[in-house]
Structure 1
Amino acid sequence: MTAEEYKKNVERLKKWADAYYIDDNPLVTDEVYDKLYHEVQSFEKEHPDLIDPTSPTQRVGAPIKDGFRKAKHLSRMWSMEDVFNDVEFEQWYERINKQYPNERYYVEPKFDGASLNLIYNNGALQQAITRGDGVEGEDVTNNARTINSIPLEIDHQGLIEIRGEVLMTIDEFERINKERLERGEQPFANPRNAAAGSLRQLDPKITAERNLIFQPWGVGVNDLDFEYLSDQMNYIYDLGFRKPPIRRVHTSVKEIEETYRELGKMRDTLPVMLDGMVVKVDRIALQEILGYTVKYPRWMVAYKFPAVEKQTRIKDVILQVGRTGVITPVAVLEPVNIEGAVIERATLNNFDYIEKLDVRIGDMVTLIRSGDVIPKIIKVLKEFRTGKEKPIERPTHCPVCGSEVLDEGALIKCQNLSCPARVVNAIIYYASKSCMNIDGLGEKIVEQLYEAGLVKEIEDLYHLKLEDLLKLEGFKEKKAKKLLEAIEASKGRECWRFVNGLGIEHIGEVASKKICEKFGLNFLDATKEELLEIDGFGEEMAESFLEFMRVNREKVERLMEIVKPTEPKEERTVDSAFTGKTVVLTGTMKEPRAKIKELLEHLGAHVTNSVSKKTDFVIYGEDPGSKYDKAKTLGVPLLNEEEFWKELAKEGITP
């Protein structure tokens, strides 16, 4: 590698790192990133005078993402050195063993998620901070409080930082991606990115819906007095945190490598993703002696699993049309099992990618799952070709409506706004939780309404009548009324939900909120100059928004007249008796329970479903049941609904 190549490779790594850490959208597999990372690192070791201080090898993690308050860790969160085979691991082991023989080593799984630092003060969860750059990260305390495996209180006095990984189960990942695809949204690349994206939602309610898991792996600042890390971690687990499936202490390289292989076999059976095993010097005093490099602790290493590759054949290629008209080629595969998941489809990304690989229908291909990302076709095994393979043609017409497409090179788009696929996906997206949140209006019902000719655009939802729905298969009076009530309830939703629901290309939830914060309900009159003043807005976003409004202004105005979205509300700053408290709701309430739950969460309360000694209040209505009885037994304070509203009235809050 020359000095010039080194500079280019550093820029390439920085681009990949930004996509991975900030956008939660990896551009390359872990294997490709790690390979270039090590090549750059090797060059820097040989030429220390040429090191670029901004190189990803010289920093710990991710820059701060706009939108969250910065917060400093009490002690630095370090990254780990990676090793990828037995030879590299044994070299790391011998560096320590040569000087300190017969030491104990603590081993545990390396979970693949988003790192989080929890700060407890005298038993109470005080703050939750993402890794960030290792010195400071993002304050995601409100979101962390929604994760059930994070105790809000622990039986420990004094100050302590508990570090761990926020994870998403494979089942939850598949559920969320299914919902995203139904709404015409881009699926998450892998459970790690889904967990990171869920943890960093501006709305804690979205985080709460994602069923995240917190798995501890270490401590920062603490006043614990243990000789060994293994004992320290047992103490942490006994405070009420999840235990890993394996945690062992070994005294030889042979034992460590045996556990590594055992864990590698187990990974297919676990509900969450692993990408290796962590090995740490167990004696805390020796950890302090060994110390740190610029980036890593010298006393621990990540012993990574190899990439998983499988071969299969492409049976067919189908074309999917999203709500923005983008046509995505999807490979239909002969089923292949990769780490417990039967894979029958894989995205081909776009038509430039197809041409670059020279992939054809009938080809044998290699799928890779590196770092447990969604399987991707990375190679065509041309030696297996028989001559019967068929080239994948670039479409000239939409596969759904037949209209001519716009070919932009990598992207091919259907421009027909009335295309059934675009219309159906646009309505699904409009009704989704992150937009107008119309309960019960999912993919199947939208397709049913469209095929029956009842809904041809979003506005038609608000003209549906009971007698129309009762003619449809599967609709009884109760179901039909419930759907109409849900559609009616979407009127008056916040401005940002309305804008987000329009499905404007490049304008997502965060951008919609910023637009409504700046313009309120006058967003139709926004100019390019005004849009570019918004933090994070570029030319592409501004032009996309303006072009959509130019083409669809009349439709948007008509829809606004029906829906009457509301201006952004000022954030409530009232502190109440429920701020920071754990609350359980039970029984039948006069006010909708969802409304009470939302209000409590807005006031900083953590609303849970079960009563325990850690519950601060139980608010009950009529026929409260077993939760009420358990609260009385445990001595948890009880408030009926009337008493609850009286308490809030002291702060000027009314139903």
Structure 2
Amino acid sequence: MTAPDEEVLHRRVEELRKQLEYHNYRYHVLDDPVISDAEYDALMRELRGIEAEHPELVAPDSPTQRVGASPMTEFPTVQHPVPMLSLSNVFNEAELRTWAARVARLAGSADIEFVVEPKIDGLAVALTYEHGRFVRGATRGDGSVGEVITQNLRTIPTVPLRLREVKSNDGETVQVPAAPLPDTAQQLDLFAAVTHTPPQSPPMGARATASPPLGGTTITSPPPGGTEGGSVGITIEARGEVYMQRSAFERLNATNAAKGGQIFANPRNAAAGSLRQLDPAVTASRPLNLFTYAIGYLNGVEVHTHMEELDLLRSLGFRVAEHQLCRGLEQVWAACQGWLERRNELDYEIDGAVIKVNSLALQQKLGYVAHDPRWATALKFPAQEATTKLLGVEWNVGRTGSINPLAILEPVKIGGTTVSRATLHNEDEIRRLGIMVGDYVVVKRAGDVIPKVVKPIEERRDGSERAIEMPTHCPSCGTPLEHPVGEV
């Protein structure tokens, strides 16, 4: 191939990658695609074809490389440059007011802006980008050391492999070029191209009385393969939660059950189990998603508030959950109650609301205590799941004449309500779960929905369990039962 032909091919590959990254962003972040699936597939097929014929053009951040790494024998570990600390918890309005009063006292003012976000029930991860390219992803682990799961995170469509372009106030591009996103120019004027590191946390286990000074040195490692193909750009660690949508979780369990595979208790367990696979192809086959909620450290762009952090994350191509800016505790409490009321309508699990001080300078002033930042807390919502023992099964006649099983349970508290009965749906569900009388089971209660048995905990079996006897006659009138083919 001649040099001019090679240059044309390089340009076409880069153009295809930019287009695919742009359409991924429109589809997965904005939920507003501008091309059809067929058109997207045609672009992807063209890029795959070129890379197959010219493997020297394959790059780790190409959209074709979300799946393709070899299985690992174990996960390496990495020390988080800035520890991923836990949050303190509050459980009611009185405790929230006590926390807010402490913040006001330490801040020297009650006139404080807060940001309220949903507390996504997933697996916390840290995503490191150098010169705009995704170079490392790790689990939270113990907060100080996490497992490196970069190849698995690459398979998630909402994890950008290259960050979108951000322009500074002086017009300089500080990020790897990407297709332009409409309607973001005003938003990007917020950010100036200077170095900033958000308030650093103390070492794990230390008790901090003050935070380190604002700014300082960004802790990074050299980008793999140098800087060729990228701009000076920014270095950023984005923090987020990998989760599985409820609808996707139900489909996964149904598919696994049909194949005799693993049944997951809840979406969080499914997400964690899917992400921590040694074979990235297994992770790629699972419907995982990502919301980002914070910046661990940042170099190349200045932000002054948590709202600006979230705006920057979204501008760079990350998905960010809905959030509210609140002034005063009344607005904070109303926002938290709003999330609680919507909890069961969402297609993802939340187990609370996170409240953060908006000003990064005030976050620095407030500092940390032990493992928790003083400037943030989590309002935990009532639990929706519990473990208890299945004592027996009753069979009742439904409105349509169907015979329905009802689980008789050892009474257990779920979300402030005592639950002693739960639905097992039908005979097919009992067989699908492989549940037995005497099993310890996971029971879920969401809002006003009738509690249901989710799964047995087979690891707790001791041999005393017995099979559930299916009825042969109607429990009401004694008529022999029929089970038409194809009905449950």
1:409 and 2:409 are equivalent in the alignment: no
1:102 and 2:117 are equivalent in the alignment: no
1:153 and 2:162 are equivalent in the alignment: yes
Q: CA deviation at 1:149?
A: 0.3
The one of 328, 333, 336 equivalent to 1:260 is 336
The one of 304, 310, 313 equivalent to 1:236 is 313
1:167 and 2:176 are equivalent in the alignment: no
1:205 and 2:214 are equivalent in the alignment: no
Q: CA deviation at 1:66?
A: 8.4
Q: CA deviation at 1:231?
A: 1.1
Q: Could you state the TM-score of these two structures normalised by the residue count of structure 2?
A: 0.54
User: Relative to 1, partners in 2 of residues 1:66 and 1:280: Cα closer, same or farther, differing over 3 Å?
Assistant: farther
SS at match of 2:368: coil
Q: CA deviation at 1:290?
A: 1.3
Q: CA deviation at 1:343?
A: 5.9
SS at match of 2:297: coil
Distance in 2, Cα, partners of 1:124 & 1:309: 39
Say how many residue pairs are matched.
292
Query: What is the identity, as a one-letter code, of the residue corresponding to 1:281?
Result: V
Task: Tell me what 1:272 maps to.
Answer: 348
Question: Any conservation in 2 of the 1:331–1:348 contact (CA below 8 Å)?
Answer: no
Distance in 1, Cα, partners of 2:80 & 2:137: 9
1:316 and 2:325 are equivalent in the alignment: no
Query: What is the identity, as a one-letter code, of the residue corresponding to 1:143?
Result: N
SS at match of 1:117: strand
1:74 and 2:92 are equivalent in the alignment: no
Q: CA deviation at 1:412?
A: 5.2
The worse-fitting range, judged by mean Cα deviation, of 166-175 and 151-160 is 151-160
1:119 and 2:173 are equivalent in the alignment: no
The one of 128, 131, 152 equivalent to 1:143 is 152
SS at match of 1:221: strand
Question: Any conservation in 2 of the 1:350–1:410 contact (CA below 8 Å)?
Answer: no
Task: Tell me what 1:88 maps to.
Answer: 95
Answer with 1 or 2: which has the greater Rg.
1
Aligned 1:391-406 pairs, distance under 5 A? none
Question: Any conservation in 2 of the 1:369–1:376 contact (CA below 8 Å)?
Answer: no
Distance in 2, Cα, partners of 1:348 & 1:95: 51
1:302 and 2:356 are equivalent in the alignment: no
Distance in 1, Cα, partners of 2:77 & 2:293: 23
Distance in 2, Cα, partners of 1:260 & 1:178: 33
Distance in 2, Cα, partners of 1:288 & 1:251: 19
Question: Any conservation in 1 of the 2:79–2:145 contact (CA below 8 Å)?
Answer: yes
Question: Any conservation in 2 of the 1:119–1:126 contact (CA below 8 Å)?
Answer: yes
Q: CA deviation at 1:131?
A: 0.3
Q: CA deviation at 1:254?
A: 0.6
Q: CA RMSD in A?
A: 3.7
User: Relative to 1, partners in 2 of residues 1:376 and 1:97: Cα closer, same or farther, differing over 3 Å?
Assistant: farther
Aligned 1:176-187 pairs, distance under 5 A? 176-187=252-263
Q: CA deviation at 1:243?
A: 2.8
1:130 and 2:139 are equivalent in the alignment: yes
Aligned 1:341-356 pairs, distance under 5 A? 344-345=424-425, 350-353=436-439
SS at match of 2:157: coil
Q: CA deviation at 1:276?
A: 1.1
Deviation sequence 1:77-108 (CA, Å, 0-9, x none):
11111111111111111111233320110111
1:292 and 2:368 are equivalent in the alignment: yes
Identity %: 33
Aligned 1:469-618 pairs, distance under 5 A? none
Q: CA deviation at 1:170?
A: 0.6
User: Relative to 1, partners in 2 of residues 1:144 and 1:410: Cα closer, same or farther, differing over 3 Å?
Assistant: farther
SS at match of 1:263: helix
Deviation sequence 1:329-385 (CA, Å, 0-9, x none):
x95469xxx99xx9654879654457xx9xxxxxxxx96459x9x95599xxxxxxx
Q: CA deviation at 1:295?
A: 1.5
Deviation sequence 1:548-596 (CA, Å, 0-9, x none):
xxxxxxxxxxxxxxxxxxxxxxxxxxxxxxxxxxxxxxxxxxxxxxxxx
Q: CA deviation at 1:241?
A: 1.2
Distance in 1, Cα, partners of 2:463 & 2:282: 35
Distance in 2, Cα, partners of 1:351 & 1:66: 39
Distance in 2, Cα, partners of 1:286 & 1:109: 22
Q: CA deviation at 1:408?
A: 5.1
Deviation sequence 1:380-429 (CA, Å, 0-9, x none):
xxxxxxxxxxxxxxxxxxxxxxxxxxx95345589xxxxxxxxxxxxxxx
The one of 236, 247, 250 equivalent to 2:323 is 247
Question: Any conservation in 2 of the 1:352–1:409 contact (CA below 8 Å)?
Answer: no
Query: What is the identity, as a one-letter code, of the residue corresponding to 2:161?
Result: L
SS at match of 2:128: strand
Question: Any conservation in 1 of the 2:313–2:320 contact (CA below 8 Å)?
Answer: no
Q: 5+ unaligned residues in a row in structure 1: which ranges?
A: 1-64, 319-329, 358-365, 379-406, 415-450, 452-655
Distance in 2, Cα, partners of 1:105 & 1:146: 34
1:195 and 2:249 are equivalent in the alignment: no
Distance in 2, Cα, partners of 1:71 & 1:309: 33
Higher relative contact order (CA 8 A, sep 6+): 2
